[in-house]
Structure 1
Amino acid sequence: MRFTRRTNTIIMWLLAAGLLLGMIIMFTPALGSIGDLLSGGARGSSKAGLLVNGIPITELEVQRARSGSFFNSVTEGTVAADLEKYAIEILIREEILNQASSGVRVGSGEVRRAVNQFRQSQGVEGRRNDQAYVRLINRAGLTDQTFRFSLQEQIRRQKYQDRLVKDVGVSDEEIASYYEINSGAYSTEERIRARMLVLDDEALALNLMKRIEGGESFQELASEYSLELGSEKGALGAPKGKTEPRPIGRAALVRPVANAAFGLKASGLTGVIKHSNRFHIVSVEEYLPSQSRSLVEVRTELQEDLLELKRAGVAENTLRQLRSNATISFPEESSFSFANPVIASVGSIEIKEAELIYATYGNQQIQQALSPEFAPLIEQLFKPNVLEQLIEQELILQGAGLLGPSFVGTRASVSRDALNFVSRDATVSAKEIDAYYEENLDQFTTPASADVTQITFKTSSDAQSFRLSLLDGGNLDASAEEWSGVAENLGTVFQGDLRAELDHILFSTNAFEGIPNSKLGISDIIALDAEESREFGAVASNAEEDVSSNDQADAQISTELEREADTPVIENELLQGKTIIEPSAFPAGFESLDLSVLVAERTPEARQSLSEVRNQVETAVLSSQTQSLRKAWLDELRIAFSVENHLLAKNEDSLPRARLEGEVPITSNVPESATLADAQAMAVDLVKELRSLVTRDDLTLEESARLEQVHVDLGKVQDEVAIFTGALSTYVVEEGETLSGIALEMYGDSSLWEELLAANNYLLQDQDVLFPGFVLVVPNLQNKSQD
């Protein structure tokens, strides 16, 4: 059931005014039930806790507002004090708005219509559902009376807002400026007319690709072979039974297919695209690029959007002004106090503690995660980052006044438009696209992998008999048992996961013979050291070590028998690079080694071509250019305007000591991580140790040396995490830095600090917060946007 325009506007007003959480408190018993307090009953029975423009809010009201589980989720320390101030701030804003709208009359008929609309939207309309309606509002801690009162207050505020914005309009100049900045949002979507083949067999897909390239009809092949749209001859967007394709946008295709098809930027044929065990081929018959629409074409739509933004901006600015002008005092006998000091300034504009607390604890993520364990993160990480965002927003708002266009709307929309304006000249050249692709090939490459079973034998004859059995169609488990083999399923492995010899066989040779009627291949017989074969991941013995004890074996292996990479190989670490053709030719002494055979389905490395990912690459390059322009502008503003962050100055920490000139650089002594999980686990341990050292100022010489070693080791391990995850880089945190500041430097947008937090969530937990020397993984946000 849809709400009326008035109800929707009420919600928009509450959002613009920053009262959404106050509304939640009113309707949710877990956060306290304020609805029954607004009737005034509590004000005559309790002493004043604070005065808002001389009007008291009682201690009982404050206590009830704080009685919900949210405000008691942390009961000690700075965060607990913040939650008390947050509850008081909510009450202050409620009272300010009540006072401002007190002269607005609301009739009983208006309230009755609002109740009926609510009941209809919840499916409890009509007298027969009276009890269901009462149960519904009772679950929110309300009675019919208090519910009606709360609706009356919301309607009153809405009518107050209507009076504020009734004369708001937009000028031709504002419309022209808004169009100049946001014309891209009113452009048509790029589309294609195309046909698609969908198959579940890669060999068939490659075969059909050759046939299409050879001139056969795509339509006829789609009709005969495609698993989808066969009756439409592969025509995308065509009604069922029709065979002519219609224009479609990107959303009509899965992302990899869309990237390849739209990346052509013209008519043409994609390669074979694998996605979810299906293989796609797209024939683009016509590319319809995005086109700008003129101001004349979009004027009506744009004017409506701009008018809504401007009205919301008036509402927001009015509430901010009311809050700024309000006189808040606490009687001497009050149990509460709220000093509300200035914690930052941008030019002549001050940011006070109440604004920071309201912005911090109004954050949905914080509300969901609030707990004693999470409290240190809020105090030392979240609050500093939120303050940096408030500072940056104020900086942008002041800087916007120096730009040419006329910006209107909410603070958030003006900030967005100003950033869009200063980065409007960002462009991308073909050379930059090519360079980005070449420099970031790992992003577009799926590494080789293999699903592997290793079968170990004691004799070469058993191993050879097993091989022949599988090549003759025998069952793996039955054949291994028949020939006394011990099978171990190694699962899916990537290059570097296994010991050197097995890794080399799997990923650096073609020493496998295909098993008939199967995707599996079987290796030649591999000779392994019996002791080391029990411990995968052990470092292989040096190939150059003394092999004099194996003279007899060496004598029987001629270098003339060495084969090319596509020839089956038998190796052991003492005879690396030497090969044997027939198992019967095993030299004396080999029977004391473990003899293994690998059965594997190997998937080779796959790399997307530039044509397949051109749009993704272009977006990444354009994003980088945009961020650079924005960052440069913000850097200029920080010079032009005096910016002070008192909270940052208060929380200054110290860096580990600098290395003395001439000292020998420390190298990492941690082993290579085989998997992402291994690297992250190692990083967790190193961060714990680093934290215990970096926060002390009484380190011994030995502990100081260990501090530097741990820092180097953490840098190495985090570099490995970055490689595993396709991150942009790593970043060493310096004194006084915050995630929002780092996000601004790395991405040109401080609001992306939560992406940094998410990428490092295996480290930033519980008591762990940023400190000098901490090494962050900086995620590639373009990768994320393509997921």
Structure 2
Amino acid sequence: MKNKKFVNVLLGVLALMLVVGMAYQFTPNLGSLFNRQTGTPALKVNGETVTVEDLEALRRGNPVLSSTDTGLLGDDFKTYVVAQKARQVLYIQAAKDINVSKADVNAEVTKVREQNQLTDNKKWTDALQGADLTDAAFRKQVRDGLAVQRKVESIQKSAAPATDAEAQLYYTLNKANFVSDARIVGRQIVVTDEAKAKSLLAQAKAGGDFAALASANSTENKDRGGALGPVENGAPRPVAQVALPAEVGTAAFALTKGGLTDVIKSGGKFYIVKVEKYLAPAPKPFAEAKTDVLTAVNEQKKNAAVEAWGDKLAADMKVEYVDLNWKAEDPTVAKVAGQNIPYSEVIGQVVSNQQFTGLLQQVPADQAAQLVNGILKPQVVQSLIQGYAARTVAQNQKLPLAGTRQEVAAALVAYGARDVKATDTDVQKYYLENIKQFETPASGTVNEASFKDKAQAVAFRNSWTGGNFTQAATKAGGTVSEHGAVTGGDGKLGTELNAAVFTAKTLKTVGEGSLSDVVQVGTRFSLAYVTDLKRAATQPLSAVRSQIEEQVLGTKKNEVGSAYVAKQVAALKPTDNLKTILAAQEKRVTAATPKPATPATPATGTPATPATGTDTATPATGTPATETPATPTDK
């Protein structure tokens, strides 16, 4: 556990990997972050050796990748591990020109040791040994991490600043992100005596002049009649919720129709607020939101600069396979707008998909592979195609959109749906089709009395006038079952009794509760005594309109926007090679799978022939494979 915590801190030190697309979807083992000094060579990235131990550590450190190393998923995971490790090495190589001082490294190492309670030298040495590292090796990796981080920061600084056109379009497509806080126009009375506060509230409710009451009694803002904001042109200025103590603000801002709060105690004082006008949140004008808009667009442009840098490095990368057992197949899964999409990107999105990780826990790996290949991977490929096509679509449409591929693709969806509205008809249709989600079922606390004879049950119902139900029903010859809190239709009551309690309108009021009619339950006759009864209710459309409108609008925008992007991308005539790749993979994996031994022939008793070496995967020879460029089409 100590090493695990140590690893988490190191991940923070090397968080730069997340920035440049080297995201580990799960926390890896410590060894996966570092190149060991010794080990069995597996491959070379631009001439730098990556060992089998490095790759195995990365795989073991991820619960998904370590779930299987055989079959279709095992083949996928190998491809992903190699691609991830190669990228990691690539970024470190690209940052060799960045100066990181010994003092910088020492400061980072000290921080790690302090955060992990490893300031004691022996504990520190033990922790490093447990991770198969020396202090010198660890410091080298810290140096590499800081170098990449600074390299990324320098690339981000080189990004061109947002233009007015980019900012204006971003604002248009993201107005919901730039909304003013709700505000109220109102007055308050603040006193230190609760009894006095209650008296003043009663006077205000009776029609008393609130401003006059505040001027005469309030300890705050009495010079302006208790106005929450400064008075301008005879009216108080609106204020945001932060202008009031937390409890007071919550109560006041709940009065969206205006009105008086109850007496609210806060900080030893007693508050009464009169809300004269509630101003709902609304989009800020562009001029007011411009600073935040520019910040958002500039961040997108920084992200895009880093993405482009990573793409350039990957296009020029060369990978040499030393151990052929680690030779990974990473073909081009799709092409669009002159760009090749590597299959490893598909696997990366599958590995990080929560539905996939849940699936692996429920079904065998081979079954999960078939489901993923048939459903998830085709969806991922289409999403990647849209991402890779996004900038070309934006250019063709003359749209000044900034950001990474996926950011531009999301902006295109928003652009395609910019004029979509949720109509009254849409809202009403949704309400009627989903009426059950706005229903509150009936509920109550139920005791049941069961009798052998119907006449007995009816007599008890007619004669009981209150008191202890259990005692009275038992004395009358009944058997009592205490069901406790019951929700209509939850199965705690039989069908007949459930209807008698929650549906019938013939309940008889007795004491603090009600008696149901007598109903037959099997061969016996029952009635129920219910307290705290709440009838089933359906929220009216007016109460849920805004909620429905937001949901309907979001759905319509996504449908219309996605259709717009799909149409634009289709015009670029993308190619999708997924089916071909999956068929070739299945053939390759099947051929490499060892065949089971032939069983003995019962008639002759001849022993089974042992499997030959030709039926197993060919062992690594140690001879390097031909060096090839690891472009997105062939790594």
Secondary structure of 2:277 counterpart = strand
Q: Distance in 1 between matches of 2:446 and 2:337?
A: 64
Q: Structure 1 residues 115 and 511 mapped into 2: Cα distance closer, same or farther (>3 Å)? A: same
The answer for the alignment partner of 1:505 in structure 2 is 500
Choose from 511, 514, 517 the match for 1:521: 514
Is 1:53 aligned to residue 56 of structure 2?
Answer: no
Q: Distance in 2 between matches of 1:436 and 1:123?
A: 54
Matched, 1:600 2:595: no
- Alignment partners' CA distance in 1, 2:154 and 2:18: 18
Q: Which whole-Å CA distance do the structure 1 matches of 2:439 and 2:204 have between them?
A: 25
Whether the 8 Å contact between 2:99 and 2:147 is mirrored in structure 1 is yes
Name the SS for the 1:511 alignment partner: coil
Alpha carbons of structure 1 residues 139 and 613: separation in structure 2 relative to 1, 3 Å: farther
- Cα gap change, 1:411 to 1:177, in 2 (>3 Å): same
TM-score (norm 1): 0.57
Q: CA RMSD in A?
A: 4.4
Question: What is the match of residue 345 of structure 1?
Answer: 335
Identify which of 463, 466, 475 aligns with 1:472: 466
- Contact between 2:331 and 2:343, CA under 8 Å: does it hold in 1? yes
Tell me which amino acid in the other structure corresponds to 2:344: A
Q: Which runs of 5+ in 1 are unaligned?
A: 1-6, 197-210, 220-234, 239-243, 271-281, 535-592, 653-787
Aligned length: 518
Deviations 1:594-645 (A, max 9, x none): 3221222432112223333232122123213312321330342253132443
Query: Which residue of the partner structure matches residue 62 of structure 1?
Result: 55
Q: Superposition pairs for residues 312-351 of structure 1, below 5 Å?
A: 312-331=303-322, 334-351=324-341
Q: Quick check: 1:628 aligned with 2:621?
A: no
Specify the SS of the correspondent of 1:595. Answer: strand
| Cα distance between partner residues in 1 of 2:25 and 2:424 | 52
What is the one-letter code of the residue matched to 2:528? L
| Contact map agreement 1:343 1:351 (CA 8 A) in 2 | yes
Compared CA separation, residues 366 and 156, structure 1 to 2 (3 A): farther
After alignment, is 370-379 or 159-168 more displaced?
A: 370-379
**CA deviation string 1:163-191 (max 9, x = no partner):** 33333231333333333333442231234
Does structure 2 conserve the Cα–Cα contact (< 8 Å) formed by 1:267 and 1:284?
yes
1:510 is aligned with what amino acid?
K
* 1:181 corresponding residue in structure 2: 173
Q: SS in structure 1 opposite 2:169? A: helix
Amino acid in structure 2 at the alignment position of 1:49: A
| Secondary structure, counterpart of 1:510 in structure 2 | coil
The match for 2:345 among 355, 373, 384 is: 355
The verdict on how the C-alpha distance between 1:130 and 1:412 changes in structure 2, with shifts beyond 3 A counting, is farther
Matched residue type, 2:324:
S
Matching of residues 363-382 of structure 1 within 5 Å: 363=353, 366=356, 370=360, 373=363, 375=365, 376-377=367-368, 379-381=370-372, 382=376
Query: Which residue identity is paired with 1:595?
Result: F
Which residue matches 2:88?
94
Matches within 5 A, 1:170-249: 170=161, 171-192=163-184, 247-248=240-241
Tell me how far apart the structure 2 counterparts of residues 458 and 215 of structure 1 sit (CA, whole Å): 59
Q: 2:21 aligned with 1:21, yes or no? A: no
Q: Cα distance, 1:386 vs. partner?
A: 3.0
Query: Any idea what the Cα deviations from partners look like across 1:491-515, whole Å, max 9, x if unmatched?
Result: 6242595665434423432221123
Task: Give 2:616's aligned residue.
Answer: none
The residue aligned with 1:311 is 302
Identify if the C-alpha distance between structure 1 residues 618 and 140 changes in structure 2 by more than 3 Å, giving closer, same or farther. Answer: farther
Distance 1:643 1:218 in 2: 72
Task: Compare 436-445 and 622-631 and name the one that shifted more.
Answer: 436-445
**Aligned position for 1:35:** 34
Q: How does 1:714-733 map to 2 (within 5 A)?
A: none
Report the CA distance shift for 1:465/1:184 in structure 2 as closer, same or farther (over 3 A). closer
Query: Which residue, 121, 145, 150 being the options, matches 1:159?
Result: 150
The offset of 1:319, in angstroms, is 1.0
2:540 corresponds to which residue?
Answer: 609
CA contact 1:22–1:90 (8 Å) conserved in 2: no
Letter in 1 for 2:565: L
- Matches of 1:292 and 1:22 in 2, distance apart? 36
Between the aligned partners of 1:189 and 1:17, the Cα distance in structure 2 is 35
Spell out the pairing of 1:404-415 with structure 2 (5 A cutoff): 404-415=398-409
Establish whether residue 647 from structure 1 lines up as the match of residue 578 from structure 2.
yes
Alignment match, 1:454: 448
Q: 2:75: which partner in 1?
A: 81
Equivalent positions of 1:286-297 (< 5 A) are 286-297=277-288
Identity in percent: 24
Q: Do the aligned partners of 2:69 and 2:78 also contact (CA within 8 Å) in 1? A: no
**Cα separation, partners in 2 of 1:183 and 1:603, compared to 1, 3 Å:** closer
Task: Go from structure 1 to structure 2 and tell me whether the alpha carbon gap of 1:64 and 1:442 turns closer, same or farther (over 3 Å shift).
Answer: closer
Quick check: 1:148 aligned with 2:139? yes
- Conservation of the 8 A alpha-carbon contact between 1:187 and 1:292: yes
Name the CA distance, whole Å, in 2 between partners of 1:173 and 1:159: 30
* Aligned partner (choices 411, 431, 434) of residue 417 of structure 1: 411
Per-residue deviation, 1:395: 4.3
Whether the aligned pair in 1 keeps the contact of 2:446 and 2:530 (CA below 8 Å) is yes
Are residues 597 and 421 of structure 1, via their aligned partners in 2, closer, same or farther at CA, if it must alter by over 3 Å? same
Compared CA separation, residues 324 and 77, structure 1 to 2 (3 A): same
Q: Secondary structure at the match of 1:335?
A: helix
Query: Residues 247 and 162 from structure 1, CA distance in 2 versus in 1: closer, same or farther, beyond 3 angstroms?
Result: closer
SS of 2:403's equivalent in the other structure is coil
For the residue of structure 2 that corresponds to 1:597, the secondary structure is strand
The residue type equivalent to 1:320 in the other structure is: D
What amino acid maps onto 1:482 in structure 2?
Answer: K
Tell me how far 1:452 sits from its aligned partner. 3.5
**C-alpha contact 2:389 2:569 (8 A) present in aligned 1:** yes
1:629 partner amino acid: V
Q: Does 1:103 align with 2:97?
A: yes
Which sections of structure 2, spanning at least 5 residues, go unmatched? 1-9, 189-201, 211-225, 230-236, 262-272, 584-635
* Cα distance in 2 for residues equivalent to 1:649 and 1:447: 53
TM-score with structure 2 setting the length: 0.69
The aligned amino acid for 2:34 is G
Structure 2 SS opposite 1:112: helix
**Secondary structure of the equivalent of 2:326?**
coil
Letter in 1 for 2:296: D
Deviation digits for residues 239-272 of structure 1, max 9, x if unmatched? xxxxx996339xx999xx99x958x6x54799xx
Pairwise CA distance, 1:296: 3.7
